[in-house]
Amino acid sequence: MPGHRGRVLLWDMVEKNADKFQELHFKLKSHVHSTRSLQWRENSLDRLAAEIQRSEVAIMEALKKDLGKPELEAFSTEIGVVLGAIAHARRELRSWAAPKKVSTPMKLLPGQSEILYSPKGAVLVISPWNYPFQLALSPVVAAISAGNACALKLSEAAPETAIVIEKIVQAVWPKGEVTCVLGDAAVASRLLDRPWGHVFFTGGTEIGRQVMMTCAKYLTPVTLELGGKSPCIVDSDVDIEVASRRIMWGKTVNAGQTCISPDFLLVHRSIEAEFIDALRSRALEFFGDRPLESSSYGRIVSDRHFQRLEALLVNAEIVHGGERDALRKKMAPTLIKVSSVDDPAMAEEIFGPILPILTWETREDLDVILDRHPDPLAFYVFSNNSTFSRDLMIDRNFGGGCVNDTLLHFGNEELPFGGVGKSGIGAYHGRFGFETFSHQKALLTRRFVLDVKFRYPPYGDTWKKLKGFLR
């Protein structure tokens, strides 16, 4: 995309445009007073929804070029998610933004206590390549709902989608209250080296650490949406056909390049063979016996990521799939049997269509394996035993998850989406996103009556008689 010229800063011009990063930040800060009004926020949401709908075909074509996404996936996991977030925010915004009255203790009466929601100012959103439309604009919806001006750093790994997003942003915010920047790590580093009101980053854990360290320089608050090895546990008492279908779907959406994709499977030993057969059948049902030619299946984003995934198949025990085409960056849904948590496939997040399968028999077996990868972004349990699944959901630490399904918790705007520990800091979606990009101001309003004297010097002994009241 080096030929694209707009308000997008190009990654090959970082040094030449050094001053522009400062100018961009200054310009966004100058817009903050105009972005505070509810009318601006509502108008922005309405215009954004309308422009996305007008650009639907162009968005789908861009996602096809960048990631080979089928139209249904492009709409349901990208366009539709953003439109849903806008509709939800538009419906609830005035309720979210209204001052929230809270109780006032007797010792502070007469008085009224409330929480006011203020924008954090000029904020920065750094988006990834795997869902380049949704994971760019969903945080922006939250940021503008809260009344902020926003810089949106787009991924250079999905350049076609970046071009479409920049055109949408330019049409919706011609004055530059929201501005796009395209670039690599050098551009992100320059952008981060500014005192933003908030930084929202979606990406890998190691880069997340670097983002947080850079933000510490300015004490900038951060939201880190990271990842990790999200487990999927299958109990002996399940509907094998439905469970295998939902797991195979969750693993193969976006060719497995999903931060909440089931990263590895823990199947009860008593149903291992039957469940693997069911997974094979689901793969054939979804993509046929030539999955690389399926119009319902995407591709790996880059040669580098393809080579990383291919290395995991060296010496692996492949029980289904394994077909791949390096030239087209296509890799079939692949099941591999793993006998040890020390297997290379169990070292890092896979982020692709390879599903390692381990077995378990006792809860102690599960805990040993799960303890090797604490605090995942997602956690899935399939079981007809509600006590078993509920106990696991309560006992284990994770960002979010499902019982008897995969991925779908992400689609509820009433649920927070975010990680814990290594899988992230903070959350968004719905009101949680609004609050992420808002400063909650505490306000106590009092009257000029009942001005008790014992609070003022010189202090006497009266306070001793009122210790209980002062607590």
Q: Which amino acid is at 324?
A: R
Same domain? 286 vs 184? no
Q: Does residue 42 sit within a domain?
A: yes
Same domain? 210 vs 259? no
Q: Does residue 3 sit within a domain?
A: no
Q: Dump the DSSP string for 395-432.
A: HS--SEEEESSSSGGGG-TTS-B---GGGEE--BSHHH
* pLDDT value of position 5: 40
Same domain? 138 vs 155? yes
Alpha carbon 327 to chain centroid distance? 30
d(CA 153, CA 156): 9
Q: Does residue 238 sit within a domain?
A: yes
pLDDT tens profile 256-304:
999 999 999 999 999 999 999 999 999 999 999 999 999 999 999 999 9
Q: Are 381 and 389 in contact (CB under 8 A)?
A: yes
Same domain? 102 vs 15? yes
Which active-site residues does the annotation give?
225, 259
Please report the sign of the dihedral spanned by the C-alpha atoms of residue 194, residue 196, residue 202, residue 207.
Answer: positive
* pLDDT value of position 1: 41
Same domain? 212 vs 268? no
Q: What is the CATH number of the domain that holds 235?
A: 3.40.309.10
* pLDDT value of position 423: 96
Same domain? 407 vs 387? yes
Same domain? 393 vs 295? yes
d(CA 186, CA 166): 20
- What b-and-e string marks burial along 443-457, b requiring 16 or more CB atoms within 10 Å of the CB? eeeeeeeeeeeeeee
* pTM higher than 0.85: yes
E strands, 127-176, are: 149-155
Q: Are 59 and 71 in contact (CB under 8 A)?
A: no
Q: Which helix (H) or strand (E) holds 74?
A: helix 71-74
Q: Does residue 436 sit within a domain?
A: yes
Domain of residue 395: give its range.
231-418
Same domain? 212 vs 290? no
Nearest to 225 by CA among 86, 410, 69, 97: 410
Q: Does residue 41 sit within a domain?
A: yes
Same domain? 291 vs 212? no
Q: Does residue 177 sit within a domain?
A: yes
Residues of the chain with pLDDT under 50: 1-13
d(CA 337, CA 272): 10
* pLDDT value of position 462: 72
Same domain? 144 vs 241? no
> Structural domain tally of the chain?
2
* pLDDT value of position 3: 41
Q: What is the CATH number of the domain that holds 37?
A: 3.40.605.10
Same domain? 336 vs 253? yes
Q: Give φ, ψ of 440 to 5 degrees.
A: -95, 110
Q: Does residue 457 sit within a domain?
A: no
Residue 223: how many CB atoms within 10 A of its CB? 23
- Bridge partners of 317, per DSSP, are 337
- What b-and-e string marks burial along 459-469, b requiring 16 or more CB atoms within 10 Å of the CB? eeeeeeeeeee
- For tokens 């989406």, the residue is 417
- Residues 287, 288, 292, 294, Cα dihedral to 10°: -60
Same domain? 362 vs 432? no
3-class secondary-structure state, position 177: coil
